[in-house]
Amino acid sequence: MKYELRIAHLYGDLLNTYGDIGNILVLNYYAKQMDTQIKVKIVSLNDPFDPNDFDLVFFGGGQDYEQLIVSRDIQRKKKSLTDFINAGGPVLAICGGYQLLGKYYIGAKGEKIAGISALPHYTKSQVNHRFIGNIEIENEETGQKYHGFENHNGLTYLGPGERPLGRVLSGHGNNGADQSEGAIYKNTFCSYFHGPILARNGELAKRLLLIALKRRYPTADLKQPAELKIKPTY
């Protein structure tokens, strides 16, 4: 393989509901077609995160209990993760991971779970209710439609500098009220989609890989996403 990308799977041993790890399988599938070898490392409790050691970050979702444990540990990685994000490092964060990149999440029992405020959104909770089901959104820049499955208690409200990953066509999205789903901030992509998101939305997988490759190999003549097959065959 001509290129290599190093992926940090943040708290992959704690936050991995609904097979969020499948996103890494999908990244690997497209990476091979881009002549790229993927190396994955779980960065979990007590592990340092050095932004120079990674080209892409993946952060999955989970239950409130695990989120609380992660919330305490991630404060020590707050600066290095924020630096990675502000420098334009590509990040994919799903559900609980999405909530923890923001200011805070009020859990189902009313507990305040601190995020790292790398992104300006915040998340409140619903009383005895969750948003569960299939969801379809449209990304306004590309016109691409993304499909997935959502299952969350949290109601997320975007802040300055964030735009939604898409406009809700069917389903609930960030908060069930403003038609937004997920967030885009610099090269950080957040979503409530499990499924996992990249398995059904190959365009997004290719976009993330291309951002990572361009940052790591600025002068390389890379294959364009349109040249790559969409259907995963693993």
Q: Which residues are annotated as a binding site?
A: 130
Does 153 bind ligand GLN (CB under 6 A)? Our answer is yes
Q: What is the nearest approach in angstroms of ligand GLN to the Cβ of residue 10?
A: 13
Q: Residue 52: is it exposed, middle or buried by C-beta count within 10 angstroms (0-12/13-18/19+)? A: exposed
Residue 153 vs 187, nearer CB to ligand GLN? 153
- The set of residues, in sequence order, having a beta carbon less than 8 Å from that of 194 and lying 6+ positions away, is 17, 18, 19, 20, 61, 94, 95, 148, 149, 150, 151
Q: How far is Cα of residue 59 from the mean position of the Cα atoms in its chain?
A: 6
Nearer to ligand GLN, 3 or 146 (CB): 146
Q: Please check whether residue 43 is in contact with residue 49, taking contact to mean a CB–CB distance below 8 angstroms.
A: yes
Interface with ligand GLN (CB under 6 A), residue from 51, 89, 154, 195? 154
Question: Of the candidates 115, 110, 102, 126, which has an alpha carbon nearest to the alpha carbon of residue 177?
Answer: 126
Beta bridge partners of 94: 191
DSSP state of 108: T
* Among the listed residues 78, 101, 74, 113, the one whose alpha carbon sits nearest the alpha carbon of residue 161: 101
Report the residue closest to ligand GLN, judged by CB.
Answer: 61
Q: Min. distance of Cβ 196 from ligand GLN in angstroms?
A: 12
Of 33-41, 146-154, 182-190, 219-227, the window that binds ligand GLN (rule: CB under 6 A) is: 146-154
147 in active site? no
In terms of Cα–Cα distance, which of 181, 165, 185, 163 is closest to 173?
181
Site for ligand GLN in 5-34 (CB under 6 A): 17
Residue 69 to residues 75, 113, 114, 126, Cα–Cα distance (Å): 11, 9, 10, 21
The answer to whether the peptide bond before residue 196 is cis (omega within 30 degrees of 0) is yes
- Told to check if 152 binds ligand GLN by CB under 6 A, we report yes
Catalytic residue list contains 9: no
Q: Does 102 bind ligand GLN (CB under 6 A)?
A: no
36/99 with CB nearer ligand GLN: 99
Which CB atom, from 17 or from 82, has the smaller least distance to ligand GLN?
17
Of 9, 95, 172, 190, catalytic: 95
| Interaction mask 38-77, ligand GLN, x per CB under 6 A | -----------------------xxxx--x----------
Residues in the interface with ligand GLN (CB under 6 A) total 12
Residues of the shown chain interacting with ligand GLN in the complex, contacts defined by CB under 6 A: 17, 61-64, 67, 95-96, 151-154
Catalytic positions: 95, 194
